[in-house]
């Protein structure tokens, strides 16, 4: 059993040591509580549990504390993939709910598993998700000040459970100040992908992640026999060739974990029951 979570990149508008330390501590706490949860739950359930906690922490750009788009509204995206049955579910640009990743989880049982905009909100309401404003004063201030580099800070989790099952979950408030209608990578297979061999969650500039097909490529390379390191090295070389900005975390079915980022400011934490690895 093992898991690794990420909290996106450090905000370019707030590089203070205080914020870095607070994010690292939050990741450490969430990795520990999620590992406890993993003892009695599946990889899929644990990925949702971990990402829900990250969504609820306003330090991160997902759920509460999501960034505001150019028209002053918050639209969130999240996806879940179960490595056992290769099912992918997600919501794209959903408004006014607390935990987009939990809607993705409920969607797993549906034929129509990726919903957008009003349809996603309607489905959430029909399934008991209350109206909730994810806006925080900090994000409103950033928006008002038009700090366009408000910071990339998507969250994600990849897990292997006691039965060796893999899952990946990713949730985001987007890039901030984006055009209405813009689609994030987080609820696509470029940003979140898993099968029986490997699970990957990405963060960074969504357009770069989609252009590079990052999560799917890494998983495919591991499926075809490459090590995580080889798969990441090749995929990030390809990202560099398009001058891309992103990072990813991964776990394989042997319990190996790996992470890499194009810019060294990504925050992540892993836990295997005895030792933590936290980005310093």
Interacting residue ranges for ligand ASP, rule: CB under 6 A = 8, 61, 152-154, 172, 174-175, 184-186, 203-206, 209
Tokens of 31: 């990795």
Measured from the CB atom, the residue of 89 and 93 that comes closer to ligand ASP is 93
Q: Which of 46, 64, 154, 235 is catalytic?
A: 154
CB of 50 to ligand ASP, least distance (A): 16
Measured from the CB atom, the residue of 100 and 206 that comes closer to ligand ASP is 206
CB of 66 to ligand ASP, least distance (A): 10
Q: Is 274 an annotated catalytic residue?
A: no
Mapping DSSP onto H, E and C, the string for 187-245 reads: CCCCCEEECCCEEEEEEECHHHHHHHCHHHHHHHHHHCCCCHHHHHHHHHHHHHHCCCC
CB of 92 to ligand ASP, least distance (A): 10
Tokens of 251: 């776990």
CB of 162 to ligand ASP, least distance (A): 30
Angle at CA of residue 202, ends 219 and 108, nearest 5°: 75
Q: Count the alpha carbons within 13 Å of 130 in the hemisphere toward its beta carbon.
A: 3
Measured from the CB atom, the residue of 84 and 205 that comes closer to ligand ASP is 205
Measured from the CB atom, the residue of 10 and 35 that comes closer to ligand ASP is 10
CB of 170 to ligand ASP, least distance (A): 8
Measured from the CB atom, the residue of 35 and 60 that comes closer to ligand ASP is 60
Measured from the CB atom, the residue of 60 and 129 that comes closer to ligand ASP is 60
CB of 178 to ligand ASP, least distance (A): 8
Q: Would you name the residues annotated as active-site residues?
A: 154
């Amino acid at each position: 059993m093992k898991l690794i979570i990420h909290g996106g990149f450090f905000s370019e508008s707030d590089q203070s040591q205080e914020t870095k330390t607070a994010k690292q501590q939050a990741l450490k706490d969430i990795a520990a509580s999620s590992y406890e949860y993993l003892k009695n739950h599946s990889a899929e359930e644990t990925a949702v549990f971990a990402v829900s906690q990250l969504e609820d922490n306003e330090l991160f750009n997902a759920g509460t504390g999501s960034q505001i788009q150019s028209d002053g509204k918050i639209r969130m995206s999240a996806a879940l993939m179960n490595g056992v049955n290769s099912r992918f579910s997600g919501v794209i640009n959903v408004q006014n709910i607390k935990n987009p990743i939990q809607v993705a989880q409920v969607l797993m049982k549906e034929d129509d598993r990726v919903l957008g905009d009003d349809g996603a909100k309607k489905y959430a309401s029909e399934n008991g998700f209350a109206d909730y404003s994810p806006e925080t004063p900090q994000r409103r201030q950033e928006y008002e000040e038009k700090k366009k580099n408000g910071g990339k800070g998507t969250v994600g989790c990849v897990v292997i459970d006691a039965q060796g099952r893999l899952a990946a979950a990713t949730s985001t408030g987007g890039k901030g100040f984006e055009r209405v209608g813009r689609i994030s990578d987080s609820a696509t297979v470029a940003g979140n992908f898993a099968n029986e061999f490997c699970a990957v969650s990405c963060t960074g500039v969504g357009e770069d992640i989609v252009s590079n097909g990052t999560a799917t490529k890494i998983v495919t390379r591991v499926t075809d026999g490459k090590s995580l390191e080889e798969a990441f090295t090749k995929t990030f070389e390809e990202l560099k060739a398009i001058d891309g900005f992103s990072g990813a975390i991964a776990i394989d079915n042997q319990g190996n974990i790996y992470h890499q980022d194009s810019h060294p400011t990504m925050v992540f934490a892993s836990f295997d029951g005895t030792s933590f690895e936290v980005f310093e």
